[in-house]
A = this chain, B = another copy of it.
Amino acid sequence: MEKQGETTIHDIAKKLNIAASTVSRALNNNPIISEPTRKLIEKTAKEMGYRPNIMAANLRTKKTNTIGVVVPLINRHFFSSVISGVEEVAYNRGFAVTISQSNDNFEKEEKIAQTLFSNRVDGLIVSIGMQTKTFDHLRLFSERKVPLVFFDRVVDEIEADKIVVDDYRGGFKATEHLIEQGGSIIAHIGGPLNVKIYQDRLAGFKDAMKKAGLPVDESMLIHNSLTRADGTNAIKKLLQNKIKPDAIFCANDTSALSVIIYLRQMEIKVPDDILIVGFSNEPFSEVVTPSISTIRQPGFEMGKKAADLLIRQIKLKEKSNRFQTFVMPTELIVRESSVRK
């Protein structure tokens, strides 16, 4: 005999001639309920196919047990790895994960933030888009005390927990490595400078150059959105310089790949003629020929850490702890593209 609707705690209560409140407490393992009645309630709940109505509970408790994640692009190895890490931790601690992608579009990012806020997510994990230069849509969360964690592309202007990779040292190590391998006229293909990670990678690049006593010529610096097409355009432009680079530090693997493919077409040898280092350790960087030296970013671990921090904030709540910034170590992975045989 199927009931017409879902069974509620009231149905269970009625069946057992007890109060709904008792049922509720029993099902929530409230120790105030005696063992035998709890057992009984659990048993009949199962028999009746009871499933708690989470919306009702949420309404009452003002919690959704949901955390929101906003990334520029899901379909991108680094971000999907982070999401994977977030999901793993969240799932194990009883949180659902709602995911949205901004497509690096500011308006969409704003709308997503509004929506997630209205949906009362218990907390938010964000990596901002490349166009994002104002932050009111995110301040909304921090001001209303909704826990917020930034990762990778963080926002300096907002106080919150942050998880970044050591982009500065990554840029530094990459450049230093190129210098060690014999590069002296070194170009940098970087991302938009309103995004901190690209500032940092650039800073690392410059400092490594300075340390080695090498000049940084403006004509050797290019900033774009680091897509495949951008990478191709960038290398074309670099090759038009009177003095051509003998090494390039690319701020991501995608542009490094573009460069390598274009150079192959031009019959310029990598690494013999030009050394290349990328950034992020995308899966393809390992298997392309020549394989791309790059900087590893521990995406999965960052996701786990972000979720852990966020959930910690959610649980603590009131106790406004100081916000922390975690810097995940970067690792230079040396492959073929940067080592002369």
A interface list, Cβ under 8 A from B: 51-56, 58-59, 64, 66, 73-77, 80-81, 83-84, 87-88, 91, 96-101, 108, 112, 115-120, 257, 261, 282-284, 287-289, 300
- Chain B's closest residue to A289 (CB) is B289
Closest chain-B Cβ to A285's Cβ sits at a distance in Å of 9
Closest chain-B Cβ to A84's Cβ sits at a distance in Å of 4
> In the complex the two chains form, what is the Cα distance from A291 to B77 in whole Å?
20
Contacting residue for A287 out of B73, B77, B88, B257, CB 8 A: B257
Chain B residues closer than 8 Å to A119, beta-carbon distance: 54, 96
Chain B residues closer than 8 Å to A66, beta-carbon distance: 98
B55–A59 contact, CB under 8 A? yes
Q: Most chain-B Cβ atoms within 10 A of its Cβ — which of A55, A76, A88, A120?
A: A55
> In the complex the two chains form, what is the Cα distance from A120 to B284 in whole Å?
39
* 20 intermolecular pairs with C-beta atoms under 8 Å apart: A51-B117, A51-B118, A54-B118, A54-B119, A55-B64, A59-B59, A73-B84, A75-B77, A75-B80, A75-B84, A77-B77, A87-B101, A96-B116, A97-B99, A98-B98, A257-B287, A261-B287, A284-B287, A284-B288, A289-B289
With A96-B98, A283-B283: A87-B74 Cβ-Cβ less than 8 Å: yes
Chain B residues closer than 8 Å to A73, beta-carbon distance: 84
